């Protein structure tokens, strides 16, 4: 190759089960690349089925890094991952090859792509330095000991109404913190926040020129594919692995006295919790064969539900955090370019995913002009047009009180008054789609119907109001 080698990074993101590992291998073969795993479970040794690790034969000789190398008894943190992945990237660049970062753990990807801001904390210590100043904190806190949460919040609202709007009055720690900033610096906490966000916009935050491929599949199609994958995992021997994991977790020799810390990562593998009852029933002679079979079927359903839910969470993160962060680099020297690849119809894999990715990646690596990401497909246009220009500002956050889920003593099924607060629009939107919220919508409806049949007028008007308000909220959400 005569062209000058460019130090850059390719990242492949997307939900579980969408084909990221396959694409990474295909690109690595064509581009002279090496794969770096960014999946928090796949860093662990063994348990290939429950963690969906690529097999040796699937890697077809492409070097894979940070895959299956951590002892399951050890906890592996995102800080360790960041360090290890950056080391690997440097080594791969040293071999004049392209690092391809791939995995479903989005905060792993983010930790490698973006440099943390070095803006200083208002009270003096650098933000990256996690060490708090407990003595000072306690000193300030002591001066407020007699005050109620509401009193403290009212005090903050007088000094810094913008910041007060961000915190629930019961969030005493946050309210105190904002008061402390004013007390220590004489400036409002909201001013500090606005200033650091402004500085961050100008600062180079991306470590390397980065090309991001978001491998996407339509949710309904993906759901079916994920269901099938669970069935496949069972056929390939998943129960054996789960059984082994449960034994390892109970092995006092492996525990070395740190029960809760052991296997923190692998414990989160989908399937572990879902099949707990079934697996322990196997050695329990009191449980009948038919009951055991029932537990197994329940476990399979739960695992499928959890997998789908996980995929939804991954998409939310990509939409609301990762891609806005990428877009915010648009005006900077070092940019992140994000492209969507449509993996909905697998019979089009070669044209829609493999060849398209390869064409874009070759231009990127060679430093030539890239196509407009929104013109590559209808799906790309739709998904990318919804991405915000910058990540949400902390100051733009609004607290929402859900009028459906908040219950007065009179309405509440358990006779306890509750207030359900959501921090920020994203959390509120997610809440409106949650099981808890939907259950409460149904509960409210039943309550309203019950009161129509013989309830007092006063009661029925009181109940129907929140439901109406919710409908408006949902309409806004679906647009």
Cα gap 353→340, rounded to integer Å: 9
Torsion of CA 282, 300, 243, 245, to 10 degrees: -150
CB of 428 to Zn ion, least distance (A): 9
Residues 387-426, mask of contacts with Zn ion (x by CB under 5 A): ---------------x-xx---------------------
CB of 473 to Zn ion, least distance (A): 9
Phi, psi (rounded to 5 degrees) for 234: -65, -45
Name the strands in the sheet holding 9-14, side by side, starting at the edge strand that comes first in the sequence: 64-65, 33-37, 98-102, 9-14, 210-216, 336-342
Q: Which stretch binds Zn ion (CB under 5 A): 73-81, 228-236, 262-270, 434-442?
A: 434-442
Residues 214 and 13 sit within 8 Å (Cβ to Cβ): yes
Q: Which two tokens stand for residue 8?
A: 């850059």
Distances (CA, A) of 375 to 89, 322, 358: 31, 21, 16
Q: Which two tokens stand for residue 470?
A: 């919710």
Closer to Zn ion by Cβ: residue 125 or 430: 430
Q: Which stretch binds Zn ion (CB under 5 A): 30-38, 54-62, 138-146, 430-438?
A: 430-438
Closer to Zn ion by Cβ: residue 69 or 421: 421
Q: Which two tokens stand for residue 108?
A: 């792993």
**Cα 265–45–107 angle (5° rounding)?**
40
Closer to Zn ion by Cβ: residue 36 or 404: 404
Phi, psi (rounded to 5 degrees) for 422: -120, 135
CB of 122 to Zn ion, least distance (A): 34
Q: Which stretch binds Zn ion (CB under 5 A): 52-60, 280-288, 367-375, 433-441?
A: 433-441
Cα gap 72→78, rounded to integer Å: 16
Q: Which residues ranging from 436 to 465 are in contact with Zn ion (CB under 5 A)?
A: 437
Closer to Zn ion by Cβ: residue 64 or 437: 437
Closer to Zn ion by Cβ: residue 311 or 402: 402
β-bridge mates for residue 14, sequence order: 215
Residues that bind Zn ion (rule: CB under 5 A) add up to a total of 4
Residues 439 and 451 sit within 8 Å (Cβ to Cβ): no
Residues 331-360, mask of contacts with Zn ion (x by CB under 5 A): ------------------------------
Closer to Zn ion by Cβ: residue 65 or 437: 437
Q: Which stretch binds Zn ion (CB under 5 A): 61-69, 158-166, 169-177, 435-443?
A: 435-443
Closer to Zn ion by Cβ: residue 25 or 405: 405
CB of 405 to Zn ion, least distance (A): 3
Q: Measuring CA to CA, which residue among 61, 52, 66 is closest to residue 25?
A: 61
Binding site for Zn ion (CB under 5 A): 402, 404-405, 437
């Amino acid at each position: 190759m005569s062209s000058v080698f460019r130090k850059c990074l390719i990242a492949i993101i997307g939900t579980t089960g969408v084909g990221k590992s396959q694409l990474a291998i295909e690109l690595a073969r064509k581009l002279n690349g090496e794969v770096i795993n960014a999946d928090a479970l796949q860093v662990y040794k063994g348990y290939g089925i429950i963690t969906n690790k690529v097999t040796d034969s699937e890697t077809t000789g492409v070097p894979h890094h940070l895959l299956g190398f951590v002892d399951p008894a050890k906890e592996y943190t995102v800080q360790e991952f960041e360090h290890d992945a950056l080391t690997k990237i440097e080594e791969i660049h040293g071999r004049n090859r392209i690092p391809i970062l791939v995995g479903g753990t989005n905060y792993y990807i983010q930790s490698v792509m973006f440099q943390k801001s070095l803006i200083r904390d208002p009270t003096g210590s650098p933000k990256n330095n996690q060490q708090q100043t407990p003595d000072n904190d306690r000193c300030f806190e002591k001066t407020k000991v007699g005050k109620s949460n509401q009193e403290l919040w009212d005090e903050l609202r007088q000094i810094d109404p913008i910041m007060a709007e961000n915190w629930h009055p019961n969030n005493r720690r946050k309210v105190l913190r904002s008061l402390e900033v004013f007390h220590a610096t004489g400036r409002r906490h909201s001013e500090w926040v606005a200033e650091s966000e402004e500085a961050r916009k100008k600062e180079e935050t991306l470590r390397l020129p980065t090309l991001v491929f978001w491998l996407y599949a339509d949710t309904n199609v993906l759901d079916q594919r994920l269901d099938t994958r669970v069935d496949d995992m069972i056929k390939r021997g998943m129960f054996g692995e789960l059984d082994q994991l449960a034994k390892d977790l109970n092995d006092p020799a492996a525990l070395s006295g740190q029960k809760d810390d052991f296997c923190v990562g692998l414990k989160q593998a989908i399937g572990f919790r879902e099949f707990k009852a079934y697996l322990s029933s196997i050695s329990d002679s009191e449980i009948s064969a038919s009951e055991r079979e029932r537990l197994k079927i329940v476990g399979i359903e739960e695992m499928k539900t959890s997998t789908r839910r996980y995929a939804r969470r991954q998409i939310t993160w990509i939409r609301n955090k990762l891609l806005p962060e990428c877009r915010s680099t648009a005006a900077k020297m070092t940019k992140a370019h994000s492209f969507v690849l449509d993996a909905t119809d697998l019979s089009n894999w070669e044209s829609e995913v493999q060849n398209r990715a390869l064409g874009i990646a070759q231009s990127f690596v060679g430093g030539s002009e890239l196509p407009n990401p929104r013109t590559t497909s209808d799906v790309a246009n739709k998904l990318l047009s919804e991405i915000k220009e910058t990540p949400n500002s902390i100051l733009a956050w609004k607290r929402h009180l859900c009028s459906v889920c908040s219950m007065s003593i009179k309405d509440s099924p358990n006779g306890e008054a509750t207030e359900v607060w959501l921090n920020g629009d994203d959390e509120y939107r997610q809440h409106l789609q949650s099981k808890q919220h939907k259950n409460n919508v149904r509960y409210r409806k039943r309550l309203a119907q019950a009161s129509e049949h013989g309830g007092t007028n006063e009661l029925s008007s009181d109940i129907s109001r929140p439901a109406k308000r919710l409908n408006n909220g949902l309409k806004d959400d679906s647009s």
